[in-house]
Amino acid sequence: MTLPAQVVSHVNTGELPLVYAGKVGVQVLRVSPETGAWVVRNRFKPGFELPRHMHTGAVHAYTISGRWRYKEQEAVHVAGSFVFEPAGSFHTLQVPEDNTEETEIIFVLEGAYIEYGEDGAITGVVNGETALRGYHALCDAEGIPRPDVLT
Q: What is the pTM of this model?
A: 0.92
User: Domain ranges in the chain?
Assistant: 18-142
CB 28 within 8 A of CB 126: no
Residue 99 and residue 102: Cα distance in Å, rounded?
7
Model pLDDT for residues 1-38, shown as the tens digit of each residue:
777 778 888 899 999 999 999 999 999 999 999 999 99
Model pLDDT for residues 130-140, shown as the tens digit of each residue:
999 999 999 99
DSSP characters for 85-107?
E-TT-EE-EE--TT-SS-EEEEE
**CATH homologous superfamily, domain 18-142:** Jelly Rolls (2.60.120.10)
Q: Which amino acid is at 109?
A: L
